[in-house]
Structure 1
């Protein structure tokens, strides 16, 4: 049985790592979504709290909404729900908020659709995410962030060539995006083109030598090419530097499988 074991492909692990890395950014740009009024200060405080204590932020935002906090309060509630792991509810709220956003603010509308899509990916609804991201890109064509997000959804849907098109487009716009390079390396590996996969992941690691997503991916590329020692070193490094989550779980499982094969 041990001989049939396969390395854990980043797949959802890599995707979850990329998406999880992106979700907190929602709360790091409060000025983009803040109302142009004195409420902006309360909104910024709520979004800051959502990063450190989502439960407290959720309770505060509910009370704020009851006092006519409006869309700013609803957005803070949704971001707090993301932090609490209530991704489906958060996604629905963000999509509804996007639907209520003035058509004369296409960038804001596209941003909210992108946030909703990220939440749907985490909630294992990549088809819904792809649909929302396509709508977002119609509002804001040529946005690298949205292209990367749609590529993540498309990889989850096994639309590999479509994902590759999105990643190529994103990297044409922002050539030094380590997340896009890492995801494209994963796509190249799935398409059995290890040279291109290695080139992309190496470039990502030049940009950030301790980028856990790229280390996990390089380990898989090395393992597929017979470099077992190199793969082990990469996965051990992931365990050393990455926060506990999908990436560390994938690295640990790959190491366990490697050890089983040695027995």
Structure 2
């Protein structure tokens, strides 16, 4: 799934984008069956979905050609995936929604998959309210789905409803306490709520499951800085930079170190001026 991490926004953090998986779950592929050539259609859909990520324009042309040749809903789904990877999130989300009554008609898992993908498209389009409604509809189809709970938490956090995001992440972790990402996202939500002690506890849990994760180390430094412990924050940023210097997290840590050093330098100059005046 593609996520803009809304929890890591702010002066001392980095918002990130990740690409949604192109390949489709078996439930959704099975939902496009029902024709004598269903196996061929599934193979073509998988191939088109893979191409959509690497070459969205090419996949879009293939999908529209396929529709003209009678590809039906499978071809429309391929077009939606290509639109998503081409950055036309509104069109992709609308098309995925429109396919739910047919491709998801007889399979709740297929319907939930489409609704979830449509939700992420609308979230990328900046409509967190519509995204949340789609995630909720998906959860109605497959209650307790951990990935969907995490996705809805993102949508809720986008609307600055951090307590609701925490509730979803609580539910996700109750079902799967080994999800390091959910601990990290909940820590970020707690950070936004200024619950720094809870945030640090969740980061510790995330690092126990995924030692050395530069994203978690960066976030720990950010939380410590907001809590007033700049020295410890700089230690974490230095560690994140050493662990993954060429990653987005390593670069954000380096930027935090540079900016705080600059602030400290300016403060030192001001003190020197004050002494001269006295």
Decide: shared fold, TM above 0.5. Answer: yes
Normalised TM-score (structure 2): 0.79
Candidates 71, 74, 77, aligned match of 1:75? 77
Q: Unaligned stretches of 5+ in structure 2?
A: 1-5, 267-278
Larger RCO (CA within 8 A; separation ≥ 6): 1
Task: State the partner residue of 1:157.
Answer: 159
- Contact preservation (8 Å) 1:10, 1:216: no
C-alpha deviation, 1:51, in angstroms: 2.4
Which deviates further from its counterpart, 47-56 or 27-36? 27-36
Distance in 2 separating the partners of 1:224 and 1:41: 51
| Mapped partners of 1:253, 1:15: distance in 2 | 10
* 4+ residue runs over 4 A deviation: 12-16, 247-253
Counterpart in the other structure of 2:170: 168
State the 1:254 CA deviation. 3.5
Mapped contact 1:31–1:44 kept (Cα < 8 A)? no
2:244 aligned with 1:236 = no
Q: Cα gap change, 1:119/1:210 in structure 2, threshold over 3 Å: closer, same or farther? A: farther
| Alignment size in residue pairs | 249
Q: Deviations over 1:25-59 (max 9, x none)?
A: 2x133534223312111111111112222222121
Moved more, 27-36 or 165-174: 27-36
How do residues 1-263 of structure 1 correspond to structure 2 at under 5 angstroms? 10-11=8-9, 17=16, 20-21=17-18, 23-25=19-21, 27-29=22-24, 31-34=26-29, 35-36=32-33, 37=38, 38-225=40-227, 226=229, 227-234=232-239, 236=241, 240-242=245-247, 251=253, 254-262=256-264, 263=266
- The alpha carbon displacement at 1:199 in A equals 1.8
Q: Given that residues 59 and 79 in structure 2 are in contact (C-alpha distance below 8 angstroms), is that contact kept between their aligned partners in structure 1?
A: yes
Q: Is the 8 A contact 1:14 1:213 kept in 2?
A: no
1:143 Cα deviation after fit: 0.8
- Residue 3 of structure 1 aligns with which residue? none
* Root-mean-square deviation over aligned CA pairs: 2.7
How far did 1:125 drift? Answer: 1.0
Q: Does the 8 Å CA contact 2:90/2:122 hold for their aligned counterparts?
A: yes
Q: Which runs of 5 or more residues in structure 1 are unaligned? A: 1-7
CA pair 47-144 structure 1, distance change in 2 beyond 3 A? same
The equivalent of 2:272 in structure 1 is: none
TM-score by length of 1: 0.83
Residue 158 of structure 1 aligns to a residue whose secondary structure is coil
CA contact (8 A) 1:178 1:204 kept: yes
